[in-house]
Chains A and B, each alone.
Chain A
Amino acid sequence: MAFEAMTPLERMAAYNKGAVIDRLPCVPIVGNTAARVIGVKVSEFQGNGKLIAKAQIAAYRRFRYDVIRIFTDLYGQAEAMGAKVYYPADETAYLDVPAISNIADIRSLQPADPYKDGNLPQHLEAMKLTLEAVGKEVPVTGAITGPFTNAAFLIGTENLVRLVGRNPQAVHDLCELSLETALRYAKAIVDIGCTPSLTDAMSSGTIISPKQFQEFSYPYLKRLIHYIHSRGKTVTLHICGKTDKLWDLMVDAGADSISIDNVANLLEAKVKVGHRVRLMGNIAPSEVMLQGTPHDVRVAVNQCVQQAYDSPKGYIVASGCSLPTETPFVNIDAMMDAVRKIGDPVNSEKSKKRAV
């Protein structure tokens, strides 16, 4: 284990002030890979907040990355509203049956109670336990699924996408219900002392147009982020796939950091919105982190850092999305070590300039 001079919280505080840091913040987004760290099956996480916390704490201690994100899958809020989620024995869960199959049934849907419904209480417990154990040294965040994405899980993605064209009001109604669940969950997360972290997989430029994003996703994200800000927390917003035409809107919605997918271009993001928002990304989770060698990982880290280390609002080295469960530990280690080797690119550049 490499010795590190700063804890993640100290590092982030120093980085935010532009002070000298030992290395750039680095976040390999570890979800169910945490199960591998403590040798349990992914399905054992279901309904077991203590185990999620144990795994996430162990994974953080093993790799020493800079943000812990309590996350198992995207379906927690939809499940708490009636969707059926399938839990394979040892893989990430997936949506089995949406909460409703016909928009006429929307009246049967209620916003979830995060203290009672589905597995949300267990996730809150995991956040609380993690915060108690390591919250003094590392930021602990709780994953919230964005309203539009959750709406897709309530009625099925293909249904929702058709409704976008055929029945816009129905989409708004589903997003409104999803927003209410997200707001309640965000409140519960902040009440514990954690920071919500937003993932909005379906609000992607790969799926909907910028105009549709603006109509169906943006207003709800904005209200959710406004609430989180009102509680004194900053917000990281991750959207999968193509997002170049959405970056400005993601920032307008209030995101303090945007986390971008490997199909997006980090350099382009820096040029377009780097002066408005902190950037996170975008090492390929599958091609590099899962299938690549440690050498491939080092090359990818160096490339990302070269592209974005001087982004005006800051840059966090991260994977482009949550890591696949079976990502080899050596690759996560290689990612952290590559960042350690680079150190503090901004301040070392400044001191070089002073020396000249």
Chain B
Amino acid sequence: MANNKEELLKQLADAVVDMDEEKAVELSQIIVAEGIDAYEAIEKGLSAGMEVAGRLFEEEEYFIPELLMCSDAMYAGLSVLKPHLKAKEGAAEEKVKIVIGVIEGDTHDIGKNLVKILLETSGYEIIDLGRDISPQKFIDTAKEQDAKIIAISTLMTTTMDGLAEVIRLLQQQDIREQFKVMIGGAPVSQAFADKIGADSYAVNAATAVRLARQLTGGAA
């Protein structure tokens, strides 16, 4: 049984890496039928698979099409396993929350979606605001949800100042220290992050995960 369990979890991880949505669903159903803990299956199967996918993406073995298909397989498995999560584990393990979105005036969201997927599979709870989001909305949500990190993306130079505006508003409202602000997107840079006083700049989705870990002191 122990062997069988380890084997199933490994197969589930492989199904994610292999972008095999049907297989991920099928294995998740077997896992549930076998009475294997759903939380463990998510951690050691689905998340482990996405971690490999993220690494392959960083190493340029995988590109955006593969990463999206891996995440489709991961979410398909998740929808089978999630109803079987025991309540206590959800409560026991309070996840660090991150509010993420594309700034007002910009609707390009593939980059944001990739960052979201990788953060989510690295154990963070992601509140995804979507695209074209006002600076104040980021702050209001982060306050309501007691988030630790605000992650903002933009692909356009015309909307870059919206990122600075989030930080200005945090300062004006005297709550800058409550949140870490992480930025990303083609027109921004480390220099821009320094200039506007953001806590970090992520050059790509994999880096965003590492930086989130640093910003939260290794949590999640």
Contacts and interface: CB of A to CB of B under 8 A. Distances in A.
A91 B158 contact: yes
A165 B187 contact: no
A125 to B, nearest CB: 26
B68 interface: yes
Nearest to B62: A209
Given A162-B72, A207-B64, A286-B157, 10 more contacts: A91-B158, A158-B68, A158-B109, A162-B65, A165-B65, A165-B69, A212-B63, A286-B189, A324-B187, A325-B158
B158 A207 contact: no
A161 B187 contact: no
A96 B19 CA distance: 30
Given A161-B68, A207-B63, A326 B189 contact: no
Contacts of B110: 157-158, 161
26 contacts: A91-B156, A91-B158, A94-B106, A94-B156, A158-B110, A161-B64, A161-B110, A162-B68, A165-B69, A166-B69, A205-B60, A205-B63, A208-B63, A209-B63, A241-B186, A286-B187, A286-B188, A287-B187, A287-B189, A290-B157, A291-B191, A291-B195, A324-B157, A324-B158, A325-B157, A325-B158
B113 interface: yes
A149 to B, nearest CB: 13
Contacts of B107: 94-96
A164 B68 CA distance: 11
B123 interface: no
A151 B199 CA distance: 37
A324 B66 CA distance: 31
A201 B94 CA distance: 41
B64 A208 contact: yes
B78 to A, nearest CB: 18
B76 to A, nearest CB: 13
Given A91-B105, A326-B158, A208 B191 contact: no
Contacts of A325: 157-158
Interface in B167-196: 186-189, 191-192, 195
Is the interface on chain B under 10, 10 to 19, 20 to 34, or 35 or more residues? 20 to 34
A175 to B, nearest CB: 15
A293 interface: no
Interface in A272-288: 285-287
Interface of B: 19, 60, 62-66, 68-69, 72, 105-110, 113, 156-158, 160, 186-189, 191-192, 195
Interface in A318-334: 324-326
A302 interface: no
Nearest to A284: B189
Given A157-B110, A286-B189, A324-B187, A164 B156 contact: no
Nearest to A242: B60
A165 B73 CA distance: 13
A43 interface: no
Contacts of B160: 286
Given A88-B105, A91-B105, A209-B63, A165 B19 contact: yes
A286 B187 CA distance: 5
Contacts of B19: 165
Interface string A175-215: 00000000000000000000000000000010111001000
Nearest to B61: A209
A165 B68 contact: yes
Contacts of B64: 161, 207-208
Nearest to B19: A165
B204 to A, nearest CB: 9
Interface string A308-321: 00000000000000
Contacts of B105: 88, 91
Contacts of B60: 205, 209, 245
A96 B105 CA distance: 12
